[in-house]
Amino acid sequence: MAELALEMLNIRKEFPGIVALDDVSFSCRTGDIHALVGENGAGKSTLMKILAGVYHPDKGVIRLEGEAVRLNTPRDAQSMGIGIIYQEFNLLPWLSVAENILIGNLPKTRLGLVDWSRTFEAAQKALDRLEICLDLRDRVIDLSVAQQQLVEIAKVLSQHTHLSIIIMDEPSAVLAGHELEQLFDVIRTLKEQGVTIIYISHRLDEVFEIAEKVTVLQDGQVVGTDEVTNLNKSALIRMMVGRTLDETFPAPEGSVGEIFLKVENLSSSKMGLKDINFSMNKGEILGLAGLVGAGRSELAMVLFGVAPADSGEVWLDNQRISLVNPRKNIQLGMALVPENRKEQGLVLTQSVRSNTSLVVLDRLRDFFLLKEKREYEVVRKQVQEMNIRTPSLEQEVGYLSGGNQQKVALGKWLCSAPKLIIMDEPTRGIDVGAKAEIYQLMRELANKGTSIIMISSELPEIIGMSDRILVMSRGQIAGQLSRNEASEERILTLAIGETSVAACQPDEEMASEEEN
């Protein structure tokens, strides 16, 4: 039995009106990969921010290798060998890899200038420890998301002479395929060096692949801790949500309608898109798969009109849409739920009411005056239908859990009764319970005739939810797969560009498949 690297005993933390952690005890063995899971709002991030010195517990004791410690500031935690990698990267995109790794600790010459020789030497040492290869002179903005994640890890390593515990909060949220395997390789390398890793993730398959132990939090309390080998996915879900979830994806009802969206010869040099051609049917959920950087999000931005196109035409419900005017596209029935809800989908400092009514404000005005009573009626109805858990309609969205934030980001568009919804990573960073609700809502919308383009890095999600899948690679559509043809292997084969399939139109052949 390995020694305990960490003990957090009887931890309590309250915020105004909320008990975030109630008598939580959590411990990790030295050199273990210990998963921490639970629904959004369960208290995972709060517990880890206490360990990182960001928050102060109202009650409780923290012990490192058996000795009680006080972590009053993040610098205290850092000095004791505790590092944390947050879900949102904290990098300076216009600076080099070396500068980002050593940021705040750049070696200086006697004249106070940056000592570049020592900077590159120290940065290379951090990369070597992770057994990864990056060009230290490359700007971070030019790296892939997976490489940026590795720079974030290397930065944490460089800040510690002795790193004993590293907290990873949703480190795989934007990774898939070989990029995810590269992250796992780095985690295993750290484990071999004796580093204890606390791994927070909503992707339960990863828990079983990478972790030895798992602790489940629910409503600020510990439900249980067990060896991963003693559990299966169903048992872990029951611990998390207190009930059994149907793990199957909701099935389509009936056949899709006529062709509703047609994209012809769409290219954008700025977005790296080349000659995009496809169409989709009314009431169809069209999955858009591919590796990070393949051009999926870029295509969504161009279709919606917020990123420039060099050439091509897009037709929605037999009307040519504007590639430069999002407002007009909204009026035609388009909606975009972006990948980054916090920066692009929500105004975090505004209320649930203000965010939910944002898209339909024009319909709620009488000349220049907002009809507040009507606004409250519209928002209250949407909050109830989507089961958004909020203390009040005036609650700032930034204080809601990730799952409820995502529901608000989607709900504001549903107020406008869209005909086509582009959903970019619709379940990123949300728990299994909220995922099931989003899946059910998507299928209900499709069954009622709403067309949905779903971009996702989670292959089981793409396969389970899509009526048809387009796979992108290097800014082009590499091929399409029907619901029956789709498998993780076939999607990844297309995504890495080993082969391509030309036909991307939901033509009469597809219609006959649906009838059969």
* pLDDT digits 0-9 by tens, 279-297: 999 999 999 998 777 889 8
Q: Using only C-alpha atoms, what is the Rg of the chain? A: 24
Q: What is the mean pLDDT of residues 412-418?
A: 90
- The answer to whether 357 and 370 have CB atoms below 8 angstroms apart is no
Question: pLDDT band at 120, cuts 50/70/90?
Answer: very high
- Mean pLDDT rounded to a whole number for the chain: 85
Q: In angstroms, rounded to a whole number, what is the distance separating the alpha carbons of residues 309 and 303?
A: 9
Task: Give the rounded percent of residues in the chain with a pLDDT score beyond 70.
Answer: 92
Q: In angstroms, rounded to a whole number, what is the distance separating the alpha carbons of residues 486 and 478?
A: 14
Decide which of 174 and 315 is more confident: 315
Q: Please, what is the end-to-end C-alpha distance for the chain in angstroms?
A: 59
pLDDT single digits (tens) 455-469: 998 888 899 999 999
The yes-or-no verdict on residue 63 having pLDDT over 50 is yes
**Beta strand 259-268 with 311-316: parallel, antiparallel or unpaired?**
antiparallel
In angstroms, the Cα distances linking 322 to 268, 296, 330 are 14, 19, 10
Q: In angstroms, rounded to a whole number, what is the distance separating the alpha carbons of residues 90 and 428?
A: 19
Among 182-196, 207-221, 258-272, which is the least confidently predicted range? 182-196
Question: pLDDT band at 360, cuts 50/70/90?
Answer: confident
Q: In angstroms, rounded to a whole number, what is the distance separating the alpha carbons of residues 62 and 70?
A: 7
Q: What is the pLDDT at residue 263?
A: 94
The yes-or-no verdict on residue 411 having pLDDT over 70 is yes
Among 118-132, 242-256, 466-480, which is the least confidently predicted range? 242-256
The dihedral through the CA atoms of 331, 337, 342, 346 has a sign that is positive
Q: What is the pLDDT at residue 501?
A: 44
Q: In angstroms, rounded to a whole number, what is the distance separating the alpha carbons of residues 136 and 127?
A: 9
Q: In angstroms, rounded to a whole number, what is the distance separating the alpha carbons of residues 111 and 149?
A: 33
Q: Diameter of the chain by CA atoms?
A: 78
Q: Which residues are 224's β-sheet partners?
A: 216
- The answer to whether 103 and 95 have CB atoms below 8 angstroms apart is yes
- The answer to whether 284 and 506 have CB atoms below 8 angstroms apart is yes
Q: What is the pTM of this model?
A: 0.66
Q: What is the mean pLDDT of residues 194-222?
A: 90
Q: What is the pLDDT at residue 513?
A: 42
Nearest to 441 by CA among 395, 382, 376: 382
